[in-house]
Amino acid sequence: MVNIQNLHFAYRRRPVFKGLDLELQPGHIYGLFGRNGTGKSTLLRNIAGFLFPQQGHIEALGFTPGKRQPAFLGKLFHIPEDFQLPDITLARWIQYMSPFYPDFNPQQFEHYTREFAIPTFSGLRELSYGQQKKILISLALATNAPLLLMDEPTNGLDIHSKSQFRKVIAGALDEEKCILISTHQIKDLENLIDNITILEEGRIIFNQPMNRIAETLLFKLSFDAEETAQALYSESSLRGHAIILPNTNGEDSRPDLEMLYKAVLLNGKTINALFP
Amino acid sequence: MTTAPTNQLFSFTRWRLLLAKHWIENRRRYILSLLAIGGLLTIWCGFLIIMDAYAPLDVNMQFAAYFVGLFLTGALYSSMLFADLGTKKEALPWLSLPASHLEKLLCALLFGTFLFFIAYTLVFYLVDIPMVEWANSILRNHPRNWPNTNIRIPPVSIYNIFTGDGAPIPEKEDHLFLSFYFAVQAAFLLGSIYFPRYAFIKTVVAVVLFTLGFIVFQRGVIYPLLPTGWYNNFFRWSTDLYESGPPKSEVRLPLPIENLLTLLGQIGLPPFFWFVTYIRLKEKEV
């Protein structure tokens, strides 16, 4: 669905990507994590065609994104971190926006706005940032665009809306859709994403599906000092030490994304070596 | 489910959708702007009528009011057409809207160049016609002569932008002001995409610098190359200015080429700027 090969990109003199490769498949929700300024949003905008690779090749949905052809844009929805909606009512906006997306489904849109409890009678500018974001997410999902790019989608959402977000996104995924979510709010995406991709200094330093992470790594609490010393990563807590170990005995555990992220940043080589 | 048009360069269906969306999102701003223009024209014309005791709001004054307003508001409006592309939060939704670059440019041209021109002209006449009537009622009620003569000041007529009657010769004969307006507006449209911030001011500076450069080139490079006593008149060099009959000696391009260059200068500049704007739009990154 998305194929990136040898991507080079720089802002004037500041290089961001030097030979990045990435492949995204339909039927998955990818979580893209990384520190501030590592190029998460830049990668999304390269995939959407808002920025052009200086070297390398990007193909998305069979198109070259940089050409920004209407057929491509109609199959892609990009939710930016910061956006501005026009000063009209929601109904008007949807009336004039939806015909651009051939697979838009008004019943789905109504369903999502109900799920998010969005007041549909108001002018868009009268709504809070969080409500506007929920409208954008509802529209994105109702367009049934096969490729959804979301940049910090949970920013501005309250606690209830974040759980609604996870529910709605999980329900919207099907075998033909690919959702790429960039965020540094890792906890918000727990139990949602099925692949974790970590960017650091313009390179992908970790890219694994969740099931393989669960098979390969063991996340547990330990009071054993020896076990803690052998851990790939450990964190002290009131309940003992939260640790990550190689899952040599095939035990079941629930990956803690935040711990995994920190572990990869600190000990990426060793962790990657565990994945064949 | 609807079927998407297959043409990726231009589809009338998509363009119509784009026009409808643009209108619905911007109509309040457009209507308010036109009301503001109408208000300013009313104040200006009213001021001229009150201040000019002899020939209130004559055709020359109307000509000046029309073109000063058209150039100022047209350039200002044009420089805002792609201003959204200067900020990330407005540029990303604009670029991601499923319409081609050509459709987006043509939408901006339709609203910014053609509809604005028509709307401005309508507003001008909505103000000008009653103002001229007011001026004439003053002349009817208080007939007067030109100073130190027995000649009665005639009623004021309404300036016709299409015939240019009563306007300076370049406008009356060649509609130079009108065609120059479209060139200036196209230049400001290009400026609005070229300069992400302060597009209007930067385009003004760019236009002034270009004009200065052109004058310096004419005076500093072309003139010194000509023999003493020769004049430089764009496409032709001659021993005399065209004031009293043809010059004794002149060097000029063949007439068809000269006519073609003049025509290009008059009507070729806007399409040239629109084409460059289209290229810049395709290259635009956010």
pLDDT digits (tens, 9 = 90+) for A90-141: 999 999 999 999 999 999 999 999 999 988 777 899 999 999 999 999 999 9
Picking from B24, B88, B282, the nearest residue to A88 by CB comes out as B24
Instruction: Tell me the mean pLDDT in the region B181-200.
Output: 91
Give just the sign of the alpha carbon dihedral A96, A102, A107, A111: negative
* Residue with token string 């909606």: A85
Inform me whether the pLDDT recorded for B170 exceeds 90: no
Structural contact between residues B75 and B189, judged by C-beta atoms closer than 8 angstroms: no
Minimal-distance CA residue of chain B relative to A48: B96
**Which secondary structure element, helix H or strand E, spans residue A178, and what is its range?**
strand A178-182
> What's the confidence (pLDDT) of residue A108?
96
Instruction: Tell me the mean pLDDT in the region A156-160.
Output: 90
Give the integer Cα–Cα distance in Å for A134 and B148: 76
Give the integer Cα–Cα distance in Å for A174 and A208: 20
DSSP codes, A81-105: SS----SSBHHHHHHHHGGGSTT--
Give the integer Cα–Cα distance in Å for A235 and B227: 89
Give the integer Cα–Cα distance in Å for A26 and A28: 6
> What's the confidence (pLDDT) of residue B241?
61
Query: Which ranges constitute the DSSP H helices of chain B?
Result: 12-51, 59-78, 88-96, 101-109, 116-141, 169-174, 176-194, 199-217, 223-225, 255-263, 269-283
Inform me whether the pLDDT recorded for B286 exceeds 70: yes
Mutate to test the interface with A, among B14, B15, B88 (most CBs of A within 10 A): B88
Grade residue B174 by pLDDT with cuts at 50, 70 and 90: confident
Q: Which residues, in sequence order, are CB contacts of B77 under 8 Å at separation 6+?
A: B33, B112, B116
Dihedral angle over CA of B190, B192, B196, B199, nearest 10: 110
B89 vs A contacts (CB less than 8 Å)? 80, 82-84
- Work out the mean pLDDT of chain A and round it to a whole number: 93
Q: Which residues, in sequence order, are CB contacts of B82 under 8 Å at separation 6+?
A: B108, B189, B192, B193, B199, B277, B281
Grade residue B41 by pLDDT with cuts at 50, 70 and 90: very high
Share of chain B above pLDDT 70, in %: 95
Instruction: Tell me the mean pLDDT in the region B33-44.
Output: 96
> What's the confidence (pLDDT) of residue A165?
93
> What's the confidence (pLDDT) of residue B244?
64
ipTM for the predicted complex comes to 0.90
Inform me whether the pLDDT recorded for B92 exceeds 90: yes
Mutate to test the interface with B, among A47, A87, A96 (most CBs of B within 10 A): A96
Q: How far is A107 from chain B (nearest CA, A)?
A: 12
> What's the confidence (pLDDT) of residue B2?
57
- CA-based nearest residue to A200, from A270, A273, A275, A269: A269
> What's the confidence (pLDDT) of residue B126?
97
**Window A:55-74, CB contacts with B under 8 Å:** 68-71, 73-74
Query: CA B111: distance to chain centroid?
Result: 14
pLDDT tens-place string over residues A34-72:
998 899 999 999 999 999 999 999 999 999 999 999 999
Q: Render the burial of A143-173: b for 16+ CB within 10 Å, e for the rest.
A: bbbbbbbbbbbbebbeeebbebbbebbeebb
**Which secondary structure element, helix H or strand E, spans residue A181, and what is its range?**
strand A178-182
Inform me whether the pLDDT recorded for B197 exceeds 60: yes
DSSP codes, B161-195: TTT-TTS-HHHHHH-HHHHHHHHHHHHHHHHHHH-
pLDDT tens-place string over residues B198-235:
889 999 999 999 989 988 998 888 888 888 888 887 66
Q: Render the burial of B168-194: b for 16+ CB within 10 Å, e for the rest.
A: eeebeeebbbbbbbbbbbbbbbbbbbb
- Work out the mean pLDDT of chain B and round it to a whole number: 89
* Interface contact flag, A100 B14, Cβ < 8 Å: yes
> What's the confidence (pLDDT) of residue B243?
60
Q: Render the burial of B32-70: b for 16+ CB within 10 Å, e for the rest.
A: ebbeebbebbbebbeebbeeeeebbbbbebbbebbbebb
Grade residue B238 by pLDDT with cuts at 50, 70 and 90: confident
Grade residue B89 by pLDDT with cuts at 50, 70 and 90: confident
Inform me whether the pLDDT recorded for A200 exceeds 70: yes
Structural contact between residues B161 and B178, judged by C-beta atoms closer than 8 angstroms: yes
Give the integer Cα–Cα distance in Å for B286 and B92: 7
Give the integer Cα–Cα distance in Å for B129 and B156: 11
Instruction: Tell me the mean pLDDT in the region B159-168.
Output: 86
Structure tokens at A11: 């802002």
Minimal-distance CA residue of chain A relative to B22: A96
Share of chain A above pLDDT 70, in %: 100
Give just the sign of the alpha carbon dihedral B221, B225, B227, B230: negative
> What's the confidence (pLDDT) of residue B56?
82
> What's the confidence (pLDDT) of residue A210?
93
> pTM (2 decimals)?
0.89
* Interface contact flag, B285 A99, Cβ < 8 Å: no
> What's the confidence (pLDDT) of residue A131?
93
By CB neighbour count within 10 A (0-12 exposed, 13-18 middle, 19+ buried), where does B136 fall? middle
Inform me whether the pLDDT recorded for A181 exceeds 80: yes
Structure tokens at A231: 């851990």
DSSP single-letter state for residue B158: P
Which of A39-53, B13-27, B100-114, B252-266 is predicted least confidently?
B252-266
* Interface contact flag, B88 A84, Cβ < 8 Å: no
Grade residue B83 by pLDDT with cuts at 50, 70 and 90: confident
Asked if the C-beta of A88 comes within 8 angstroms of chain B's C-beta atoms, the answer is yes
pLDDT tens-place string over residues B105-135:
999 999 999 999 999 999 999 999 999 999 9
B95 vs A contacts (CB less than 8 Å)? 49-50, 68
Structure tokens at B196: 């992400």
